[in-house]
Amino acid sequence: MKELEAFKQIEKYFNDQLSPEALTYFEQQLQTDPEMAEYYRQYLQLDSTLRFYGKRKGLKAQLNAIHNEMEATAENQPTAERKVITPFGDKQKRKIFWHQHYATIAVAASVAILTVFGTLMSIDVWRSMGKQQNARYTALRREVEKIKNSQRALVQGYNGADARVAPKPLPANFSGTGFAISSDGYLVTSYHVVKDADSVFIENRAGQRFRVKNIYRDQTHDLAILKIDDADFTSFGSLPYAFKSDLSELGERVYTLGFPREDMVFGEGSLSSKTGFEGDTTSYQISIPLNPGNSGGPLLDSQGNLIGIISGQQLDQQGASFAVKSAYLKQLVEQLSQDSLNVPIKLSTKNSLSWTSRPEQLKKIKDYVFMVKVYNN
């Protein structure tokens, strides 16, 4: 009977149904009475096992229900559908295969995609780069071949061991053409010929060299004005050509003199457009075949008026060369005379070439056209 009472007490204890006095008494009993403690332990185990049993029983029933439902749905499906033989193998196996290899497959696929698009893009970029290069405007300054130079230097060093021979002038890095604009030693050439120059010399047809000291640059119109500063130089004398400030007409016969190689070369054509590269209104388009080294050369019309300064050509078009209009040269000279110079530059206005034949004109002009040699190292 004691056991029954003990169980009642324990259950009440668990359900919080004990009065405060009974509670303290019960807790005391737990501490002191070993029999009571044993009952307590047994109750705990029984209770937990019962609960565990109950839950598990419920779960089993639930799982059985799920299983039956699953089998019912599986049986409802037509059996024919379940045993389809496909060329791709068993579905379960495919699933396993996919699970085992999906990471590798994903990496391979991404690499493939990247490669394809990378290749396409780089081909595209490469093509557009080629096009850009074709459409490019080239300035016609001449880059002197380096290999030839160094070979020549080697041969020189090999032959001439004696120091008595005066050293020959070093070959220049770049060369262009320039021409006189006033008798007291001013010349004009293209800006791109003398840009990043360390020192500039001009050389006439006879091989006489003058040192140039001051350079006035006008990058926007691709012009540069040089001043000879040399003890040997006195004066050019009066210039045979005059500078034209009006626009010349389409179809006018024009010609130029320049130094695309070591000797002076004549080129002739006509004025084909009043605008230059990509609609540039500061220059003309002319149909004279030009080569690197022609830059900075004078462009004259049949009357011997100076109408422009050769500047460059377009590579992807046949016979499209450009020359800066002489009006901009005049403008530059005026600005320079006002701002930077003590003594203004006097452009020649007298034209002694009109109504003379072409060879006569050339004979007079050639002394005023120079090769511009640029050193930049």
Answer for which of 25, 53, 102, 126 binds another protein (CB under 8 A) is: 53
Residue 54 sits in the site that holds another protein (CB under 8 A): yes
Answer for which of 22, 25, 27, 51 binds another protein (CB under 8 A) is: 51
On the 0-12 / 13-18 / 19+ scale of CB atoms within 10 A, 231 is exposed
Give whichever of 2 and 164 is closer to another protein, judged by the CB atom. 2
Contact 306, 298 (CB under 8 A): yes
Residue 59 sits in the site that holds another protein (CB under 8 A): yes
List residues bridging with 301 in a β-sheet: 254
Residue 42 sits in the site that holds another protein (CB under 8 A): yes
Contacts of 244 (CB under 8 A, 6+ apart): 301, 305, 306, 307, 326
**How far apart are the C-alpha atoms of 229 and 215, rounded to whole Å?**
11
Q: Supply the DSSP string of 143-192, one letter for each residue.
A: EPPHHHHHHHHHHHHHH---TTSPPPPPPPSEEEEEEEEETTTEEEE-HH
Residue 63 sits in the site that holds another protein (CB under 8 A): yes
Residue 67 sits in the site that holds another protein (CB under 8 A): yes
Answer for which of 38, 69, 229, 360 binds another protein (CB under 8 A) is: 69
- Helix or strand or coil: residue 20? helix
Shortest Å distance, C-beta 115 to another protein: 32
Total residues contacting another protein by CB under 8 A comes to: 29
Answer for which of 2, 4, 163, 338 binds another protein (CB under 8 A) is: 4
Q: Supply the DSSP string of 104-151, one letter for each residue.
A: HHHHHHHHHHHHHHHHHHHHHHHHHHHHHHHT-EEE-PEEPPHHHHHH
Residue 7 sits in the site that holds another protein (CB under 8 A): yes
| Binding piece for another protein, criterion CB under 8 A, among 48-56, 219-227, 238-246, 302-310 | 48-56
Residue 46 sits in the site that holds another protein (CB under 8 A): yes
Residue 253 sits in the site that holds another protein (CB under 8 A): no
Shortest Å distance, C-beta 96 to another protein: 7
Query: Cα–Cα distances in Å, from 190 out to 253, 293, 372?
Result: 22, 11, 10
Q: How many Å separate Cα 209 from the centre of its chain?
A: 41
Residue 98 sits in the site that holds another protein (CB under 8 A): no
| Binding piece for another protein, criterion CB under 8 A, among 58-66, 166-174, 212-220, 240-248 | 58-66
Residue 17 sits in the site that holds another protein (CB under 8 A): no
Give whichever of 104 and 318 is closer to another protein, judged by the CB atom. 104
Answer for which of 22, 44, 66, 153 binds another protein (CB under 8 A) is: 66
Residue 41 sits in the site that holds another protein (CB under 8 A): no
Give the gyration radius of the chain's Cα atoms.
Answer: 50
Residue 101 sits in the site that holds another protein (CB under 8 A): no
**How far apart are the C-alpha atoms of 41 and 28, rounded to whole Å?**
16
Cα–Cα nearest to 366, from 358, 355, 374: 358
Q: Which helix (H) or strand (E) holds 273?
A: strand 265-273
Residue 70 sits in the site that holds another protein (CB under 8 A): yes
Residue 61 sits in the site that holds another protein (CB under 8 A): no
Answer for which of 19, 76, 77, 92 binds another protein (CB under 8 A) is: 92
Contact residues for another protein (CB under 8 A)? 3-4, 7-8, 11, 42-43, 46-47, 49-57, 59-60, 62-64, 66-67, 69-70, 92, 96
